[in-house]
Amino acid sequence: TKLILLDSLLQEMTEEDDRWRFLVRFEPTPRSLVYLSEEVMMSIIQDIPRLKTSSARRWTITSIPPRVRERLLELFMKKFGGMNDHRKIIQKAWSLLYTHQMNCIDLPSTISTDQTTLKSILTYLGSGHHDDTPTTVFRLISVVGVEEVNTSLKKFMMYSPCLVEIQVRRSATDDLLRAIGESCCSLEVVNFARSPGVTDAGMYYLLGDKPEDEDSPMDRTC
């Protein structure tokens, strides 16, 4: 019954409809909402007005467990990635659902086609850290500016010592590998393919060593 009523309410809502306040101000929040179908949860998040995102984020973070939010982000990226996302739905989903409690962060190549969205996601990854994250897998295929990618990811890597798999294709640099080598001691899989900013020096840094001559440029790249 709750599912039917909530879905019916959703169909009637508009951005100006003040009844949104009932969605984002439940006290206490009914935990049964966590078990709504994925489709209904995606519809709710997709249609939240932008002016209500701050209140809605408080609701999503307190009411939806991290693994469920992680799954919803995966579904949003599969559904809207690679499309001309005029409504910025993927950005909205990340702003509402992401915290540094995710186990797996997999940013597919379809996300890289929308540089504005990818830059926003990278900003979320690199900001607001206070404690170590439990993230064990990170994958990114990037076509945005190398400097923008590495600035955010270096901050993220510093707080992600549990990573066992890191893939940063097309945009990794020696500086990023240095940050990974200093912070991520449990790595089993790495992939920095097609990243001209990675040289032999970066490989030394990744292994926790110092290049023989750190001041000399190295010609070999990935």
Which ranges of the chain have pLDDT less than 70? 1-36, 143-146, 212-222
For residue 213, what pLDDT is reported?
60
pLDDT at 32: 52
d(CA 212, CA 65): 47
Quick check: 42 and 27 in contact, CB under 8 A?
A: no
Rounded CA-CA distance 185/160 in Å is 10
Question: Rounded to an integer, what distance in angstroms lies between the CA atom of residue 63 and that of residue 7?
Answer: 18
| SS3 state of residue 141 | strand
A 10 A CB-CB count for 118 gives 22
List the structure tokens of 45: 């998040």
Coil, helix or strand at residue 115: helix
Distance CA 112, CA 106 (A): 12
pLDDT in tens, 52-87: 888 889 888 988 889 889 999 999 999 998 777 788
In 3D space, the residue among 52, 43, 49, 51 whose CA is nearest the CA of residue 72 turns out to be 43
123 Rama class: left (phi>0) / alpha (psi -120 to 50) / beta: alpha
Residue 24's pLDDT is what?
Answer: 42
- Say which residues have a Cβ less than 8 Å from residue 77's Cβ, sequence separation at least 6: 90, 107, 108, 110, 111
Strand order in the sheet with 137-141: 104-107, 137-141, 165-169, 189-191
